[in-house]
Structures are given as C-alpha cells and as structure tokens.
Structure 1
Amino acid sequence: MRSFLKKKLDYGRINRSLRLCEKYNIAIENQGFQENVQFIQAISGDKLTTFNQEFSERFAGQLVSNQIT
C-alpha cells in the first residue's frame, strides 16, 4: 500500500528534498512551481515512518509534510 504526502518548500531546498526522495525510492506524482514548490509524493507504507523521521531531522521544522488520504 502506498501513502501520499504533500510538501511545500522554497526553491533553495529542492535538491535536498529530491535526494531524500531518491534514497527512499519515492515517486513524485505531481509537482507545481509557483511562489514555492509543491510536491505530491507516493511512498510505500513500510518506508513512511522512517522517511518522515529523516525528513523531520533534515528540515527541522522548516518544511511541512502532510499525509493525504
């Protein structure tokens, strides 16, 4: 089962976020580039907890990740 995450970030953090996506084999389902960058990411359920923990550590409250149902 896959979970979907929605993230908004500024342009300066794109590369760090994409490297983390590659590490966890996360598919970018949708992306938008306006004032900020918005990603809709698909991640397998078994990687979700570990990914969210590392995401929180790397971005230390600078970005928000919301799970979409």
Structure 2
Amino acid sequence: MPHISVKLYPGKSEEMKENLAKAVRKALAEESGVWSPDDISVSMEEIAPDKFEAETKAGFRKEELLIDSKYINFK
C-alpha cells in the first residue's frame, strides 16, 4: 500500500539502488508495525544536480516535507 519515492543524483549503480530500496522498505515495515515489506513499493528517480532542487520541490507541497536537508528545504 505505501509507496516510497527516492530522488537522487545520477550515477549510482543498480546494485546500490536495489540495496537502498530494500533497506528503506524494510525500515518502513519495521517502524510502522503495520505493513510487511511485500506491502511497500519503492521507486528511484535520477535527477541531474542542476535540476535537483527545483524538480524535487515540484513533487510535493511545503507542508509535506517532514525532514529537510542541505539540498531540499524551504528556508
């Protein structure tokens, strides 16, 4: 039921992305106590560094950002 969308710079190996997706899915399942890993889907979208902030921010509303970073914030 939940879907996790990860946006990252290009250049990561398929193996790294697959391992990251599995780890994120496992963490959500364990922390929720409600969903199993099989309930959770994960996608990865590669975005060029010069477009990363604008394209990522365009994908959600300011109030949906729960944790900001040095790359994505609304300060």
Larger radius of gyration: 2
Higher strand residue share:
1
Do they superpose with TM above 0.5? no
Higher RCO (C-alpha under 8 Å, 6+ residues apart): 1
